[in-house]
Amino acid sequence: MADNVAEQQTQDQRTGPDKNGGNQPGAPAQGQPPQRDDSKKKRANPRRKRTIRIVVLAVIVLAIIVAIPVYAYYSVRESTDDAQVDGHLVPISSRISGTIISVLVNDNQPVRAGQELVKLDPADYQVALSQAQASLASSEATTTESQENVPITTINTTSQVSTSGTQVDQAQAAVASAQQAVDAARARLTSANAALAQKQANRVKAQKDLARFRDLVAKDEISKQDYDAAVAAADANDADVDSARADVVEAQHNFEQAGAELQESKARLATTVVQQRQSEQVRARQEAVSVARYKQAQAAVQQRRADLQQAQLNVGYTILRASVDGVVSRKNAEPGMQVSAGQQIMALVPLDDVWITANFKETQLKKMHVGQSVQIEVDTYGSSRKYRGHVDSIAAASGAKFSLLPPENATGNYVKVVQRVPVKIVLEPGENRDHLLLPGMSVTPTVLLNSGTNNAS
């Protein structure tokens, strides 16, 4: 079109009027069309149109050829720049209160697991350890004594019960003997009463014979000698009766005495039976008390052992050690500083265990799943260094749900916002061998949606 305009201007200059208003020499008359120029335009315009069409078609074809591989490339990839390196921050804190006497590490110093970091003054805890050891020794001695008292108490109580049983047997034998004595005294009393009755009968007979002999001697029918013999026999029978009465009194006294001894033996038997029962009850109680004291002493020993173990642990806690391999960060410990239990004095960053947290839009998760390969570009190193990884897991909720003030779409005016869901990406083994990835670095991960789960660990 620029060529047509230039040619038209040239033609106008050739055929334009002169200064006087007339036509220039050689120019056609006014009102008559230039026949030769029009024919040239007719021949040039179709050629230019074909050229333009060919160029436009070529551009379209070239754009399609370029767009197909570009679409094929980006259609199987999802990328985001809302991602960073994450890792563990292991706090180092004191488990006891104390005074720092030395700090053995500096900020940003790599340490190994078990390496000493800080030392606390152990003097107070060593004293407590000595006290715990002494208390344990005393408790063990008390336990030994209590253990020895258990069989001694058993023997003593058994002996007491046995003695009580013997006393009961002796009391029962005494009761039986007293009963026999009562029976014997009763028999002697009965015999004495019978002898008295016999003597009294003999005396009555002798008195009657004496009365007859007195009448006969008065009549001189018998001799004085026979009369005297009758008198002597009567006196002898009187004496026998008196003796028999004395025997009855003595037998009665013996019977009563035997009865009293029987009652006394029965009372002693009842006492010994009660004592035997008490001994048996005391035996069970004393043995139970002895065993309880032994168990109490054993429990005291266990308590003292626990105190000793705690004291030993406290002495060990005076040295703070690294729990994992890592780099010292945020050190806040100086010699002479007083620390309390649970106070954090530094942190360890284990660079061997880092991962990527990528916050993908929810619209990017349609084809994303665990195990897909990921290419990671770190802002610090640019495109010169790329890391390999794979999708480890996808969060169960969007990041907004875990925020301090989650959105309440049911209240106020609702504005739809595309949410982001955290995706954890784990590096392949050996990718961070040089520990150049630090927690907090910004990265750009690209998930290969057409990759499988072979790279998942």
Contact 423, 360 (CB under 8 A): yes
- Is residue 395 scored above 90 in pLDDT? yes
Q: Could you tell me if 161 and 173 lie in one domain?
A: yes
The candidate with the shortest Cα–Cα distance to 240, out of 203, 288, 285, 211, is 203
* CATH code of the domain containing 109: 2.40.50.100
Provide the edge-to-edge strand list for the sheet that holds 443-448. 77-79, 443-448, 373-378, 382-394, 420-427, 354-361, 83-87
pLDDT in tens, 420-447: 999 999 999 999 999 999 999 999 999 9
* CATH code of the domain containing 170: 1.10.287.620
Would you call 298 helix, strand, or coil by DSSP? helix
DSSP state, 28?
Answer: P
Torsion of CA 337, 341, 344, 349, to 10 degrees: 120
pLDDT in tens, 261-272: 878 888 887 888
Q: Is residue 103 part of a domain?
A: yes
- Is residue 11 scored above 60 in pLDDT? no
The pLDDT, as a whole number, for residue 29 is: 47
Q: Could you tell me if 152 and 231 lie in one domain?
A: yes
Higher per-residue confidence, 438 vs 171: 438
Q: Could you tell me if 329 and 368 lie in one domain?
A: no
Q: Could you tell me if 252 and 135 lie in one domain?
A: yes
Please report the beta strands in 10-93, taking only residues with DSSP state E, as ranges in sequence order. 77-79, 83-87, 90-93
The pLDDT, as a whole number, for residue 9 is: 45
Average pLDDT score, the chain: 82
Q: Is residue 14 part of a domain?
A: no
Higher per-residue confidence, 306 vs 405: 306
Q: Please return the burial class of 196, using the count of CB atoms within 10 Å of its CB with bins 0-12, 13-18 and 19+.
A: buried
Q: Could you tell me if 385 and 248 lie in one domain?
A: no
The candidate with the shortest Cα–Cα distance to 322, out of 125, 95, 93, 87, is 93
Q: Could you tell me if 266 and 155 lie in one domain?
A: yes
pLDDT in tens, 39-78: 555 555 777 778 888 888 888 888 887 777 766 565 678 9
The pLDDT, as a whole number, for residue 453 is: 53
* 448: β partners: 77
Among 298, 317, 336, give the residue marking a domain's end.
Answer: 317
Would you call 427 helix, strand, or coil by DSSP? strand
* 427: β partners: 389
The pLDDT, as a whole number, for residue 38 is: 58
The candidate with the shortest Cα–Cα distance to 394, out of 372, 418, 416, is 372
Q: Could you tell me if 371 and 241 lie in one domain?
A: no
Q: Is residue 2 part of a domain?
A: no
Q: Is residue 396 part of a domain?
A: yes
The pLDDT, as a whole number, for residue 41 is: 56
Query: Averaged over 324-352, what is the pLDDT?
Result: 94
- Is residue 112 scored above 80 in pLDDT? yes
The structure tokens listed for 415 are 């504005």
Amino acid at 218: A
Rg over CA atoms, the chain: 67
CA distance 324 to 108: 15
Higher per-residue confidence, 35 vs 248: 248
Residue 346 Cα distances to 40, 225, 342, 387, angstroms: 90, 147, 12, 30
pLDDT band at 21 (very low <50, low <70, confident <90, very high): very low
* CATH code of the domain containing 421: 2.40.30.170
CA distance 393 to 390: 9
pLDDT in tens, 115-152: 999 999 999 999 999 999 999 999 999 888 888 887 77
Q: Is residue 307 part of a domain?
A: yes
The structure tokens listed for 200 are 């009294």
The candidate with the shortest Cα–Cα distance to 176, out of 253, 259, 271, 262, is 262
The candidate with the shortest Cα–Cα distance to 268, out of 178, 156, 158, 182, is 178
In the chain, how many domains are there?
3
Q: Could you tell me if 233 and 192 lie in one domain?
A: yes
Query: Averaged over 173-187, what is the pLDDT?
Result: 82
The pLDDT, as a whole number, for residue 80 is: 94
- Run of H or E including 319: strand 319-321
- Is residue 326 scored above 90 in pLDDT? yes
pLDDT band at 35 (very low <50, low <70, confident <90, very high): low
The pLDDT, as a whole number, for residue 337 is: 95
Query: Which of 167-194 are b and which e, b meaning 16 or more Cβ less than 10 Å from the residue's Cβ?
Result: bbeebbebbeebbebbeebbebbeebbe
User: Of 40-49, 184-193, 365-374, which gets the smallest average pLDDT?
Assistant: 40-49
Q: Could you tell me if 385 and 397 lie in one domain?
A: yes
* 328: β partners: 348
Q: What percent of the chain has pLDDT over 90?
A: 40
Query: Averaged over 186-215, what is the pLDDT?
Result: 79
The pLDDT, as a whole number, for residue 425 is: 96
Q: Could you tell me if 327 and 269 lie in one domain?
A: no
The candidate with the shortest Cα–Cα distance to 447, out of 83, 130, 184, 117, is 83
The pLDDT, as a whole number, for residue 17 is: 46
Q: Could you tell me if 222 and 304 lie in one domain?
A: yes
The pLDDT, as a whole number, for residue 161 is: 73
pLDDT band at 10 (very low <50, low <70, confident <90, very high): very low
Q: Is residue 60 part of a domain?
A: no
Q: Is residue 223 part of a domain?
A: yes
User: Of 332-336, 359-363, 380-384, 417-421, which gets the smallest average pLDDT?
Assistant: 380-384
Q: Could you tell me if 98 and 138 lie in one domain?
A: no
Would you call 444 helix, strand, or coil by DSSP? strand
Q: Is residue 72 part of a domain?
A: no
pLDDT band at 26 (very low <50, low <70, confident <90, very high): very low
Give residues with Cβ within 8 angstroms of 284, minimum separation 6: none
* 78: β partners: 447
Structural domain of 337:
92-120+319-344
